[in-house]
Amino acid sequence: MNEPEAVAKAVAAMRSATALPVTVKHRIGVDDSEDYPFLKRFVETVAAAGCTTFIVHARKAWLKGLSPKENREVPPLTYEHVYRLKAEFPQLTIVINGGIKTLAQCSEQLALVDGVMLGHEPYENPWMLATVDSTLFGTQDPSQSRAEALQRLQPYVEASLARGVPLAAITRHLLGLFRSQPGGRAFRRVLSEGVHRPGAQWPLLEKALLEVTRETALAA
């Protein structure tokens, strides 16, 4: 962001090489930059190179003194800068990111910007997206339960394993599926302990799901 002209050149080069959309994800500022004027100049410069979609994490990036993890949590959120961008650049697609944890919050944000990017929350709690179709798009949700969603993943898992994809590359994204539910810890433990063993296949996920079913019955 400190070199918007360099970003603009990169965008122009990518646009000349492909017909696919080129988007830019960025923060609202860097270290001691001047907040909104700094942000506006960056977007103006890059938009002039043909970028029409900007995904804005509504925090500054502190390159001095904060780790990458701390940069995701410590700098305060300033959503107002993102809303102002949309108001001043109505022709651009402005997507907001940062600190948004619920679909209700997504709905609120969509009244002010064009889109919402979720990252950390659905990764830790993927079931939060179970009703995104009905809540935000007015269409039917694909699965009615966590167990159903997992079972529907079987063809994908087996096809991926057949292509040589290790099971761990898939299950790492499923560890939070039963977060805060009876059997959630057991589900995570079974996957974590078994996924690296030789011959780990789809039955490991069925075994983990069985632990959830057992503990749910005990809790009833």
Provide CB contacts within 8 A for 96, sequence distance 6+: 56, 58, 79, 82, 109, 112, 113, 115, 116, 117
Angle at 42 between CA 62 and CA 66, to 5 degrees: 5
Residues 168, 110 within the same domain? no
**Secondary structure of residue 20 in the 3-state scheme:** coil
DSSP annotation of 194 reads H
Handedness of CA 217, 177, 125, 168 (dihedral sign): positive
Residues 169, 72 within the same domain? no
The CA distance from 107 to 135, in Å, is 8
N- to C-terminal Cα distance for the chain? 54
Residues 105, 52 within the same domain? yes
Domain endpoint, select from 93, 126, 159: 126
Residues 161, 65 within the same domain? no
Q: Is 131 a domain residue?
A: no
Residues 19, 114 within the same domain? yes
**Secondary structure of residue 201 in the 3-state scheme:** coil
Identify the pLDDT of residue 66. Answer: 83
Q: Which domain holds residue 179?
A: 146-219
Q: How many domains does the chain have?
A: 2
The CA distance from 4 to 8, in Å, is 6
Domain endpoint, select from 74, 94, 126: 126
- Residue type present at position 74: V
Residues 102, 199 within the same domain? no
Q: Model's pTM, two decimal places? A: 0.87
Domain endpoint, select from 94, 126, 158: 126
Residues 59, 108 within the same domain? yes
Q: Is 139 a domain residue?
A: no
Identify the pLDDT of residue 70. Answer: 84
Give every residue of the chain whose pLDDT is below 70, as ranges: 34
Q: Is 22 a domain residue?
A: yes
The CA distance from 123 to 177, in Å, is 9
Residues 14, 119 within the same domain? yes
CB neighbours of residue 194 within 10 Å: 18
Q: Is 40 a domain residue?
A: yes
